[in-house]
Amino acid sequence: MSSPEPRETVEATVRRVPRYGVFMAIGVVLGIIAAGILTMVGSYEPSTTLDVVYPPGQVFGFALLWTVPIGIALGGLVAILLERIARRHDRVVRVDRETVIEQD
């Protein structure tokens, strides 16, 4: 039986990939900011049909239900677009690959 070659030279592709979690987290933060702005801008007059006034905290929570998922989706979309752009700058390099076998 022949032993495997301990060292060989192979080609590998190097490319930069954005971290999706970071972009989605930025989307969450922007969604929270957008919900805060919508809460501040909104009017709190009684509804003519229900005669109900919603407090700002409840309006903020309801706005979060819409703005945070939209922010996550937009952050993921930006990350995908950046990955497509970065794919053009891929490069192929030659690397040495070693196999280390530990014997007892």
**pTM value?**
0.71
Amino acid sitting at position 14: V
- pLDDT truncated to tens, each residue of the chain (104 aa)? 455 567 788 888 888 888 899 999 999 999 999 999 999 998 778 777 888 888 888 889 999 999 999 999 999 999 999 998 888 888 888 888 888 788 87
What's the pLDDT score for residue 5? 63
CA–CA distances in Å: residue 57 to residues 2, 31, 63, 68, 94: 73, 16, 10, 16, 58
- Looking up tokens 């032993």 gives 3
Nearest residue to 86 (alpha-carbon basis) of 17, 35, 8: 17
What's the pLDDT score for residue 4? 59
Cα 22 to Cα 88: distance, rounded to the nearest angstrom: 22
